[in-house]
Structure 1
């Protein structure tokens, strides 16, 4: 079975049937359609919602740790060197700490470089909190807007029908506020805090297309899809390709071979 670690953020090779899985559990209509379009008959594609987000739709017990009476921004950039905004936005975020009465929460990607970590840790003071927690749910719930670039966390945040700001997003959409000149950071954030009704409606429409489930029961649907496949068997699926080279590479990376 294949589940996913994020939404389609515009990066390459999101839709790929690799010939390893009997079942793909997808988050919403756009991902479901993407995999149905390329399904070669070797697997089933079932839309279940994303299990990881089940807690997002119930208030987290730790939300108070991150809430503020100031307008609050979550900065969560991607780690990809070609797509990350960490270096370009750093001096402007640093300047805004002195000129705007906003609260910042910085959550870097686990693959962020040590240099990036040190850069943003150095900014941690009254108006900026640098966090390393793996549980982003209370942070998503506590913050007012998100600032990112090309990262699937933008979608996770927007599913609460909140405004998302992206810097040089690889595939900008009309539901997000995208900007390409780092000098426009302040004016873009000011605009985002105004919560334009037209933008919020675009956000809602997008959320319905990527993850229409707000009941927190995606995990139940995933288990149901697995049980259905177990009961029905896999005789209706076509034979998978041998994929000998890919299998060898995986075994080599795990140091596990059939003869060991």
Structure 2
């Protein structure tokens, strides 16, 4: 039995790491979790068998691999450092600051699909200090396999009405949450649709209060741990420039976006909040051209629909450890500086392990 370590800094990492934890456990491995920041204390929500460790215990554990759902990982931990990503590339920022930023902290990037794999392989060839394997994203595994009845339970509340999921980014300048709440409240009051409402954990608490208050016979508020079940249950997503757009569309379902930063043919994007009812009608009765665009985009970002990305992540990690993905160059000087910054932020100057 080998030790594997899960690392997270935000609550939204839980649904990313949970399927991987289940797959590791099913293969007979020991799974531990060291969570920092806003994820601290949530280890038990990933899976009951996950062992909680603190910083010093994580170092002493000498894990075979560390799986990170953050954009950084402490390099003083032993084992392969594996990047799982905390979302899709939704073009919120320039590539050098966003999805394709390479800080020199990871040994292996487990990419979601060709749209991410191709750029990262080009970066790997240029930089030489990390490997890339296209595995799919563990977070999406529950979309394509039995979820224990969680999504069916959500649909059971709807009375056969169309189900609309609302999810918004926390980035204030891009968020639809404050702009659409009145229109969503009005639609909920009409009762023609059933709404599932969720917000990014980093959204302002004032928005949480307002959206939670909409729950009732025509709507439910969804916590982060329920979001995957909500995506399975919903017929249409309403969002903005959030990664949930890409997550949802992988199921080949329509998405309505308000003022998306980089609108694409697979979205029904609009600028005037008053147009929400019209856009919902178009999404519930999508054209053939829209569905073609949805399928093309979904296949580019995440073609695997078998629910076994977690198992492929484990296989890729073992292949990397066994040297089957090539030999890496030394990490760049900038990575060493970032490693020192991480030590300072964590207030840890003890001996690391490799």
Q: Does 1:253 align with 2:341?
A: no
Contact 2:201/2:224 (CA < 8 Å) preserved in 1?
A: no
Alignment partner for residue 100 of structure 2, among 11, 15, 20? 15
Runs of 4+ in structure 1 over 6 Å off: none
Where does the alignment leave 5 or more consecutive residues of structure 2 unmatched?
1-81
CA contact (8 A) 2:131 2:325 kept: no
What SS does the aligned partner of 1:214 have? coil
Residue of structure 2 in register with 1:51 after alignment: 138
- 1:100 deviation in Å? 5.2
Deviation at 1:145, TM superposition (A): 0.2
Q: Which residue of 2 aligns with 1:25?
A: 110
Q: 1:193 aligns to what?
A: 284
Residue 226 of structure 2 aligns to a residue whose secondary structure is: coil
Give 1:173's match in structure 2, choosing from 235, 242, 264.
264
Say which of 93, 96, 118 aligns to 2:187: 96
Equivalence for 1:71? 162
Is the 1:59–1:141 contact (alpha carbons within 8 Å) kept by the matching residues of 2? no
Q: Is it true that 1:205 corresponds to 2:296 in the alignment? A: yes
2:320 is the counterpart of 1:239? no
Q: 2:197 aligns with which of 75, 96, 106?
A: 106
CA contact (8 A) 2:256 2:280 kept: yes
Equivalent position of 1:36 in the other structure: 121
Structure 1: unaligned runs, 5 residues or longer: none
2:68 matched residue in structure 1: none
Tell me the distance in 2 between the aligned counterparts of 1:146 and 1:173.
15
Determine helix, strand or coil for the equivalent of 1:25: strand
Cα distance per residue 1:88-107 (max 9 Å; x no partner): 11111122223451111101
Aligned-partner Cα distance in 2 for 1:234–1:196: 43
Partner of residue 87, structure 2: 6
* Shift, 1:248, TM fit: 2.4
Change (3 A) 1:165 1:256: same
TM-score by length of 2: 0.70
| Structure 1 counterpart of 2:31 | none
Figure out how many residues of one structure are paired with residues of the other and give that number: 260
Any idea what the Cα deviations from partners look like across 1:19-73, whole Å, max 9, x if unmatched?
Answer: 1111111010000012123221111111111112112101422122211211110
Higher relative contact order (CA 8 A, sep 6+): 1
Asked whether the equivalents of residues 16 and 35 of structure 1 are also in contact (C-alpha less than 8 Å), the reply is no
